[in-house]
Amino acid sequence: MNDLIIIGGGPAGIAAGIYAVRYGLDTYLLERTAIGGQISSSQEVENYPGFSSINGMELMNTFKAHAESIGVPIENKGVTGVRPEDDKIVVSTDENVDIEAKAVIIATGAKPRKLGIPGEDTYYGRGVSYCATCDAPFYKERDVIVVGGGNTAISDALILSNVANKVYQVHRRDELRASKVLEDRARSRENIEFLWDTVLEEVKGNNFVESALLRDLNTNELSEISIEGVFIYVGIDPNTDLIDVEKDKSGFIITNEFMETSVEGIYAAGDCRKSPLWQVITAASDGAIAAAKAYEYIRNKG
C-alpha cells in the first residue's frame, strides 16, 4: 500500500507531491491530462513570486519538472472514485484499477462554470469558448463578446483584442472584480467596449454563432448583437463528483485550516476546496499544508 495518493497535478497537487516526497512518504500523483492545472490555459501569469511574467503552460511545466527532479512519481491516469475502507482509502482509476493508500489528497481543481443559457452547449466549439488562449486565433478580425468581470475575463478580453476586430465586454455589474492593472489595460484598448449591467441571455446562430441576445438590467430591455464568438468567464465549478465528503452547495470541499475534510485520511487542496482565494500561490500553499498534515497522520498511524 502507498502512504499517500495525490489526485491532480495542478499547483496544489504538485506542491503536495514535493512536500510529501521530502517527508519521505511513499507517494503517487495521478493527473488526467498531460499538463495539469487550470493556470496552464493562461497566456500570462504575473502574480506568482519569482516570475514577473510567465506563460501558464510554462509555469506548470516548471512545477512538474521540479517535482519529477526530486522523485515525485506522476502517472497519467484519471480517477473515477475515492472511498474510505477500514484503515485505508481506495482510489479507483479510469483503467478499472484500484490503488490503496493510507491517506489521499484531493487536488482535482475546477473547471469553467457554464452560464446555462440556450445555445451555450449547442454552439460549444462553434463560437462558444471558455479559453481565449486556445481559441482566440480562430477569431481574427471577427467581433466577439466576453462575459464576466473577473481577472480571467479581462485577461482573455485583452488576448482577444489583439486579434479580433471588436470585443464587447459584457458584465452584470457596473464595476469589475478584476485587478486595477488589468482593468486599466482593458480600458486603454480602443477595440474593447464595456457593456455594463448587462447579461447574456441566449447565443444564436445557424451552423455557427451569429448573434447574442443581451438584457440590460437597468431597463430590462433585450437587444441582439451580431458577433461570431462568445467567451464565457463566470467563475469555476469544482471537480469533486468523485468523492463523498462534506461540500458547500456549489460542490467545493469543506476543510479546516489543516486541509482535513470530513473523512479521516482525506485532505483537499487548491481550487476544489472552499477557499477565499483561488490562485496558484494559495493552491501551492494548500498543497504544502495538506502534505504536512497527511505526513503527521500517516506517522501517527504507524
Partner 1 sequence: MVKVTLLYAKWCHVCPSAIKLWEDLHSKYDFEYKELDVDSEEGQDVISEYGLRGVPATIIDGEVAFIGLPDKDKAIKAIT
Annotated catalytic residue, options 134, 174, 184, 241: 134
Least distance from C-beta 137 to partner 1, angstroms?
7
Which CA distances in Å does 108 have to 10, 29, 210?
Answer: 8, 11, 35
DSSP 8-state symbol, 98: E
CA angle 7/10/14 to nearest 5° reads 75
- Asked if 253 and 237 count as a contact pair (C-beta separation under 8 A), the reply is no
Count residues near partner 1 (CB under 8 A): 26
Q: Which of 207, 220, 256, 300 binds partner 1 (CB under 8 A)?
A: 207
Interface with partner 1, residue 97, by CB under 8 A:
no
Q: What angle do CA 103, 109, 110 make, to 5 degrees?
A: 145
Cell of 124: 460549444
| CB of residue 174 to partner 1, shortest distance in Å | 31
Interface residue with partner 1 among 22, 23, 26, 32 (CB under 8 A) is 32
- Residue 284, judged by CB atoms within 10 A of its CB (0-12, 13-18, 19+), counts as buried
Q: Is 211 in the site for partner 1 (CB under 8 A)?
A: no
Q: What are phi and psi of 292, to 5 degrees?
A: -65, -40
Does the footprint of partner 1 cover residue 40 (CB under 8 A)?
A: yes
What does the longest C-alpha to C-alpha distance in the chain come to? 66
Exposure class string for 73-107: b at 16+ Cβ within 10 A, else e: ebeebebeebbbeeebbbbbbeeeeebebbbbbbb
CB 164, min distance to partner 1, A? 12
Q: Is 34 in the site for partner 1 (CB under 8 A)?
A: yes
Contact between 75 and partner 1 per CB under 8 A = no
CA-CA distance, 239 to 222, in Å (whole number)?
Answer: 34
Reply yes or no on whether 272 is catalytic. no
- Residue 41 found at the interface with partner 1 (CB under 8 A): yes
> Which lies closer to partner 1 via its Cβ, residue 13 or residue 127?
127
The kind and range of the H/E element at 166 are: strand 166-170
* H/E segment holding residue 88: strand 88-93
Beta bridge partners of 111: 237
**227/212 Cα distance (integer angstroms):** 7
Q: Which of residues 111-140 bind partner 1 (CB under 8 A)?
A: 124-127, 129, 131, 133-135, 137-139
CB of 223 to partner 1, least distance (A): 24
CB of 240 to partner 1, least distance (A): 18
- Identify the residue among 23, 44, 54, 57 touching partner 1 (CB under 8 A): 57
Contact positions with partner 1 (CB under 8 A) in 229-248: 229
Choosing from 22, 23, 35, 150, the residue that interacts with partner 1 (CB under 8 A) is 35
| Residue in 46, 75, 87, 94 binding partner 1, rule: CB under 8 A | 94
Q: Which of 33, 47, 122, 226 binds partner 1 (CB under 8 A)?
A: 33
The answer to whether residue 76 forms part of the interface with partner 1 (CB under 8 A) is yes
Residue 203 corresponds to which cell in the numbers above?
447565443
Q: How far is the CB of 207 from partner 1 (least distance, A)?
A: 7
Of the pair 56, 265, the CB lying nearest partner 1 is at 56
Residues with active-site annotation: 131, 134-135
Q: Which residues bind partner 1 (CB under 8 A)?
A: 32-35, 40-41, 56-57, 76, 78, 94, 124-127, 129, 131, 133-135, 137-139, 207-208, 229
